Structure 1
Amino acid sequence: MLSVMDRGKEVFMNTYAQFPIVLEKGDGVYVYDQEGNKYLDFVAGIAVNGLGYNHAGLQKALKDQVDKLTHCSNLYWNEPAVEAAELLVKLSGLDKIFFCNSGAEAVEGAMKLARKYAGKYLGPDKVEIIAMNNSFHGRTYGAVTATGQLKYQKGLSPLLPGIKHCEYNDIESLQEAMNDKTCAVLIEPIQGEGGIRPAEKDYLQEVSKLCKKNNVLLMLDEVQCGVGRTGYMFAYQRYGIEPDIVALAKGLGGGVPIGAIMASKKVAEGFSPGDHASTYGGNALVCAGAKVVLEVVGQETLLEQVRKKGTYLKAQLTNLQEKFNDIIEVRGHGLMLGMEMNKPVKEIILGCMAKGLLLVGSGEKIIRFVPPLIVEEKEIDFMVTILEEVMSEIG
């Protein structure tokens, strides 16, 4: 009989280069494969499983909702969606919510909203969106056009018009790119797939001022860095700015697929009935899960712990940097950190996997650390011990 991996190769399109393990279950910050091997998970579904695995409150909410109603279409109201949206409004300081299914969908919807709003209220020529070099916004056509990395756009030309790029953390580059046709700036407070590169605080505040001065919308892609990942509910709160539109996903559902667009009341008026939709977006099942995530992660006590453990993790990785010349830099905020090497990291990741630790890259030479937000210091110590062993063995 063929293994699950071999069966998968028979039926799936060749879009992923999977690691040779089949995961079966999880508990806390650990996952287990079909052979019973246990792994400390510092990937968390790539910053998705913020509450870890088998979280009692999340599991109960999802199971209870399955017995009631999973999907009913947005032609009708459902209470879990309203409750999740109310929590997002309360926690974000923004006013209006649209639920979708993924980060790419959230970014697509955000760009549509920006152009719709600009067309209605700012003038028909306000159509250009400025994104950043080295950014990543998703795999759909609009999102990949906004993505500032050529490797993701290879073979897809011609890309969509009206989207251009400037340098990240360079306010003069943005000033030069902005003109009378600019309707919005799209930016990640921390570039995720671009190598865990945080925006400088002064820079992002200057971006906000520049957008306000020129009547340009500020759109933030918080798909990876939002929902508590940085130790703040939303990364823009760390930077002290007020965006017009925010795209969310990943950690919002704690493992069930949900994305969201948040916007100010004024900008949300860019949409009218029929302008945008999502068949599955905001269904009762995923919103029941998102409500629990927001209730738990939105507590200041948990966010404080994320900041504390993020500081601890960064210190341990910095200690490693002092021991290994191959480590160039440790950077990031909260529990979204990156360790840049002067060589490819795949061998390190595979070596750690063999010892029961799951890590993920962010580009060829960067290891990304995005564990569940519930990770403890003892588990950070265990991770660092394995990582140090592997790096010493590889040399």
Structure 2
Amino acid sequence: MKFEQKTTRRNLIYVNIFGTTQLHLRNPLVIAAWSVAFPGMGHLLLSKYLRGLVLFLWEILINYKAHVNLLILYSCIGNFEKAKQVVNIQWLSLYLPIYIFAIWDSYRSTVDLNHVCLLARREDKDIIPFKMNFIEINYLDKRNPWVATTWSLLVPGSGQLYLHRLITAFFLIVWWIIICYNSKFLPSAHCTLLGDFKQAKELLNMQWFLNIPSVYLYAMYDAYTNTVETNKLFDWDQAKFLKKEYQSSNFNMTLKNNESGVNMHIVSTFDHSIYLELAISEIQMKGIKKENILAIPIDKRDEDIKLFDSIHSSDGLSLFDLPAILGVIFGIFGEVYGFILKWGPFLWGLIGILIGGLLGLIIKLILTKNSKRRSKDKRGTEVVLIIECLDTQIDMIKSVLWSNKALGVSSLSINNN
């Protein structure tokens, strides 16, 4: 139910030429876990960009000065004397308080923003889904979360470009290049693929290399979750638009004869997408009045849970959070122990990411098994469109509906006697 008040104080989403910032419900433990993996990442997931970037840069600088990653490396392989020698205690004493603060603040901020999100939903303020100026265009649209994830797999940051989150994309791409260059990641990967594991180990700078699982999997997770949540907001915004503009009280639901011919009702079903609005606008251009078009967005059952999000189905339950977090943890340990194992840090890091991701997926499937309804792709209709027209307009309207990806089209009529 919409919360009644004279003015709205909070927005669910803000669209500008540099990107889209949105509020949505998040698990505080998941956000805190990303801050454990890399300070600043939890805040970036919350769209607290300035604070997130400061903490990210602090982690890079102080971690490098204190040699924290080398401390982790030598401690895990049991070379404690070497760990004592490489660590810089003066910088480490600066590192720990901010590290703990990043975890605590990301958890606290998530709880606060969840409250704000609930209030913004109740206020139900309209949004402006399109921005354009002389250098760029940005708009709210539906995209496939797995396409965003796949691009991030190839190059971290490219998934954010696909979503038009330009600042985050630029930041991730730049730091991915810096980390890869300083860690000698690509030359080491080349030697690994040639089977020269000894040379691959000697080339790697482990202080920089241990950052790769966190940055790599964060880019994938951020692209995936933001695509899912943007798709949900697109549905919400389009449903509001249809209810406001295409639910006229003058719409005639009865079938009756008209002096100029036989009145028809054409019924069609759609998913929420830009094609629905294209179909409506084209039908109006061909002579159908606005008050003769009725659009009915269908409310979905709250308990419906889908394990895999797609461009048409995004209910907020993601299987990707736990696999991504465990992938980071196992990937780091794979790199650490790969330093002393035959295949080297590159291959063992990759194996660790795959094992962690698979383990997280299995755990999440078990945890959600009792909540998932046993059904096979029951993707219900999202919008019903009813158009009143003359019998001479049937073929034209059906052609428009089918060409704009209607899920189904039917017609009702009465005959003149």
TM-score tier (shorter): under 0.3
Larger RCO: 1 or 2 (CA < 8 Å, sep 6+): 1
TM-score (norm 1): 0.23
Structure 1 or 2: larger helix share? 2
Structure 1 or 2: larger strand share? 1
